[in-house]
Amino acid sequence: MRVAMYYSNRDVRIEQMPVPKIGSGELLVRVEASGICGSDVMEWYRKDRTPLVLGHEISGIIEEIGEGLNSYKKGQRVACSHHVPCGNCHYCLNGHPTVCDTLRKTNFAPGGFAEFIRLPRINVEKGVFILAENVSFEEATFVEPLACVLRGQRQAGAVKGKCVLVVGSGIAGILHIHLAKFMGAQKIVATDINEYRLNLAKKFGADVSINAKEYSPEKLRELNQERLADLVIVTTGAPGAIQQALESVGRGGTILFFAPTEKGAKIPIPFNELFWRMEITLTSSYAASPQEYQEALDLISTHKLNLSGMITHRLSLAETGLGFKLVSEARESLKVIIFPQK
């Protein structure tokens, strides 16, 4: 089978690998669509493990069924989770399945930028989601990122009636904006340094979008009845963006850190200004649980969110290198989907 082998953001090669052999309790899935995630282009996170086949936002068709599996049929349309928790450890039992050791070790093989993937038994047990007929393969690639956004906003508390500042308007920021609007946020302000994405932020629900170079907390106060934000969602790891967030959260507010910084980065915190008498909450979220995957899929199937409208590029497997270029350069693209069978 063909795979897109990742060596760097500028070096993605189409290579041949054997179709994975499945064992008892496993599934072979023919990959129909696979989204490029912002995390896929974090070179510092990948460089010690290359070459490898990336891709985790996938949908496809069950091709082969391992012995002992009676609840699946060949030809079923599915979305699949690459990371799944054990469900039994201290973290899973205390509401934090996404920091479970098992979740951080599980994956499918070789990766979504391939014609076929093998789902290990635990992924089959906890991470396969049957698609309704009204959900397309490309829409289903949003199950994983939307589940992560659902979890992030849940970690940060309900957004209904709040002023929400979203720092960074890439695909994660746009999903946060779109979901916050759907969930009843009172006002949504978005920032970015890219005018193309600032326009998209308004298209998908931001009341105001401001170039980060021109943004200030004073401007936010002018827009929000002299108050700062109730919730700040940071979808970029740029130190300047994080500093912007720290200066923009209001009394009793929350900052959700949704993206990593560069490796080893340290961010100074103005402790007294943020915490003493301010009751500020700093929180983070990582990945999503199987329950949030199902919630995301259920929401997608209602078609109340305009996810297909976020797709700017639809590419064949041979064009995966172009896809990585588009995502890493972050110019006039938002969501890039690879179709491995083309």
**Rounded to the nearest 5°, which phi and psi values hold at 28?**
-105, 125
Q: What are residue 311's DSSP bridge partners?
A: 335
Low-confidence ranges of the chain (pLDDT < 50): none
Dump pLDDT digits (tens) for 110-125.
999 999 999 999 999 9
Largest CA distance in the chain: 63
| H-helix or E-strand spanning residue 315 | strand 311-316
**Rounded to the nearest 5°, which phi and psi values hold at 250?**
-90, 175
What is the rounded distance in angstroms from the CA atom of residue 18 to the CA atom of residue 148?
32
What is the structure's pLDDT at 276? 86
Asked if residue 180 lies in contact with residue 153, where contact means CB atoms within 8 angstroms, the answer is yes
Contacts of 266 (CB under 8 A, 6+ apart): none
What is the rounded distance in angstroms from the CA atom of residue 322 to the CA atom of residue 252?
44
Domain 147-284 homologous superfamily, CATH: NAD(P)-binding Rossmann-like Domain (3.40.50.720)
What is the structure's pLDDT at 116? 98
Asked if residue 67 lies in contact with residue 28, where contact means CB atoms within 8 angstroms, the answer is no
What single-letter DSSP state applies at residue 307?
-
Asked if residue 67 lies in contact with residue 37, where contact means CB atoms within 8 angstroms, the answer is no
The residue extents of the domains of the chain are: 2-142+307-339, 147-284
Asked if residue 210 lies in contact with residue 199, where contact means CB atoms within 8 angstroms, the answer is no
What is the rounded distance in angstroms from the CA atom of residue 223 to the CA atom of residue 194?
21
Return the structure tokens found at 326.
């588009």
Dump pLDDT digits (tens) for 220-267.
999 999 999 999 999 999 999 999 999 999 999 999 999 999 888 888
Q: Is pTM, for the whole model, over 0.75?
A: yes
What is the rounded distance in angstroms from the CA atom of residue 322 to the CA atom of residue 10?
9
What is the structure's pLDDT at 273? 83
| H-helix or E-strand spanning residue 311 | strand 311-316
Fold of the domain spanning 2-142+307-339: Quinone Oxidoreductase; Chain A, domain 1 (3.90.180)
What is the rounded distance in angstroms from the CA atom of residue 81 to the CA atom of residue 84?
7
Q: 147-284: same fold as 2-142+307-339? A: no
